[in-house]
Amino acid sequence: MAPEEWVNPLRDGRDKRLPRIAGPCSLVIFGVTGDLARKKLMPAIYDLANRGLLPPGFALVGFARRDWAAEDFGKVVHDAVREYSRTPFREEVWAHLSKGLRFVEGTFDNPDSFDKLSSTLEELDRERGTGGNHGFYLAIPPAAFPVVLKQLSEAGLAQAQDGQWRRVVIEKPFGHDLDSARQLNAVVNEVFPEDTVFRIDHYLGKETVQNILALRFANQLFDPIWNSHYVDHIQITMAEDIGLGGRAGYYDGIGAARDVIQNHLLQLLAFTAMEEPISFEPCELQAEKIKVLSATRLAEPLDETTARGQYAGGWQGSQPVVGLLEEDGFAADSTTETFAAITLEVDTRRWAGVPFYLRSGKRLGRRVTEIAVVFKRAPHLPFDQTMTDELGQNALVIRVQPDEGVTMRFGSKVPGSSMEVRDVNMDFSYGLAFTESSPEAYERLILDMLLGEPSLFPVNAEVELSWEILDPVLDYWAAGGAPEPYEAGTWGPPSADEMMRRTGREWRRP
Ligand code: BG6
């Protein structure tokens, strides 16, 4: 990022509490007919407009192979906004936003389509003052990246004139292993220099994830115990109750580890385990994440430190649900895992000897994402042993979602005449502490991209390091046949519990 383009909100002279508004620009979405565009991107753009964070002449350009007139595209955006936006629908905001909607009918392999796109952007620069600043959002399968990037380049769209910007946003999966990620990064960087590439990991857009940095680096309370002297282990859980109906095209052959551990969960680990950055300049934050990811590796032997499973039929809530192999579009002999658990070690002075357990799965007991820092037991308990039978390990739990907040678990005296001690929870809840509701992750990330603020976007090196960490277990599983079935609505396959039991620990049941 050229230094003059990006003004660090933590350093410039203005009141940091005032939101920053994006400058003149447009956003072009490829894959505008897909679910991501409809459920996340269009609503987030409306929410930004509703919060007054988009420039007056902002334009949203859809590109797709549809025989749509401008009104058809307008209706698609309108319906998506009505159905999925976070903030209330206001006619005047919509009326203003809809004036900046354009649709370009085209196919990825046709240079004429990109010439049309180019003319549309020039027209927007003239008519709406978008100033030659254009972002390209590739909400399309990675297989289509090379052709779209090549066309953007050949149509001269990737190149910014002086004082203007061009940026590209890419969605995961960033490859399916280290080699393919390197190839993909090379293809992207051939057209867009690294400082104009914004890789979306939407977990970094979540308030509760950014709060890990506030919790760790704005307080004195936690840092002294945030290390192997006091921490027994860390559990990072991303559990979902939904199944994979309708997502076979993306998910079959990908599986839980590639879908979310390689990106979301390793980013959560990086935020939890990294050292304090010397500032929140993007390069400083990235340097610390890169450092900690470089020190992270799978614990071995993999047959004891990992587990994977595939959901079978069962009950979700009070509804019967089918197993993965009966879901539409999945091969009857699919070996795609829908649950994955791994054990990681972080070879630094702070973390040596502290296992990090990461797990994620579909069709689990409930939807919850959390980071639990579980502490060692007190070295001595001056109580009769029976008085502490119900005392567990102290824990600090960062509740990423859905019940956003932080819980501290510790022992407390049970009221009465004996000195019985039992676990209690002390809670911070976003909903109670603040009146503002949290913006959606995509609102924050789209705005940051339009502002050219790269802190919350993983760089190339992080993506490659994450694959380097994961590749050995992916190979190990690929050679291992079918994953172990688990009943829908439970907490995963028995081998995941076994994996913990072997080390004398157990998973939390959030
Ligand atoms: C996506 C995964 O990145 O995150 C999905 O591809 C998953 O499989 C989704 O369902 C979960 O996101 P969130 O924000 O609901 O936790």
395-405 tens-digit pLDDT: 999 999 999 99
Residues 6+ apart with CB under 8 A from 263: 172, 174, 201, 203, 458, 463, 466
**Count of C-beta atoms within a 10 Å radius of residue 338:** 32
**Confidence bin at 1 (pLDDT 50/70/90):** very low
Cα 252 to Cα 72: distance, rounded to the nearest angstrom? 32
CB-based contact 168:188 (threshold 8 Å)? yes
Going by DSSP bridges, is the β-strand pair 197-200/166-171 parallel, antiparallel, or unpaired? parallel
Helices (H), 332-391: none
Measured by CA distance, the residue closest to atom 13 of ligand 1 is 203
Measured by CA distance, the residue closest to atom 7 of ligand 1 is 260
* 206 Cα nearest atom in ligand 1: 14
Domains located in the chain, CATH noted:
5-171 (3.40.50.720), 205-501 (3.30.360.10)
238 Cα–ligand 1 center, Å:
9
pLDDT, tens only, 301-340: 999 999 999 999 999 888 999 999 999 999 999 999 999 9
CA-CA-CA-CA dihedral for 506, 257, 493, 403, to nearest 10:
60
Instruction: Please tell me if the CB atom of residue 260 comes closer than 6 angstroms to any atom of ligand 1.
Output: yes
Instruction: Please tell me if the CB atom of residue 259 comes closer than 6 angstroms to any atom of ligand 1.
Output: yes
Per-residue pLDDT at 142: 86
Average predicted confidence (pLDDT) for the chain: 94
Mean pLDDT of 432-447: 92
Instruction: Please tell me if the CB atom of residue 201 comes closer than 6 angstroms to any atom of ligand 1.
Output: no
Helices (H), 192-333: 207-217, 248-251, 255-256, 266-273, 282-294, 302-305
In testing the pocket of ligand 1, which one of 35, 170, 202, 362 has its CB within 8 Å of the most ligand atoms?
202
pLDDT, tens only, 351-366: 999 999 999 999 999 9
pLDDT, tens only, 132-142: 999 999 999 88
380 Cα–ligand 1 center, Å:
43
CB-based contact 355:342 (threshold 8 Å)? no
131 Cα–ligand 1 center, Å:
34
504: left (phi over 0), alpha (psi -120 to 50) or beta: left
CB-based contact 50:93 (threshold 8 Å)? yes
Cross-strand pairs, 413: 421
Instruction: Please tell me if the CB atom of residue 209 comes closer than 6 angstroms to any atom of ligand 1.
Output: no
212 Cα–ligand 1 center, Å:
19
335 Cα–ligand 1 center, Å:
20
Per-residue pLDDT at 15: 53
CB-based contact 244:185 (threshold 8 Å)? no
Query: Which residue among 78, 202, 264, 380 is the active-site one?
Result: 264
Cα 289 to Cα 459: distance, rounded to the nearest angstrom? 10
Cross-strand pairs, 104: 63
Mean pLDDT of 10-26: 69
Whether residue 264 lies in the annotated active site: yes
In testing the pocket of ligand 1, which one of 259, 311, 442 has its CB within 8 Å of the most ligand atoms?
259
Per-residue pLDDT at 8: 44
pLDDT for residue 158 is more than 50: yes
% of the chain surpassing 70 pLDDT: 96
Angle between helices 460-478 and 178-191 (to 10 degrees): 150
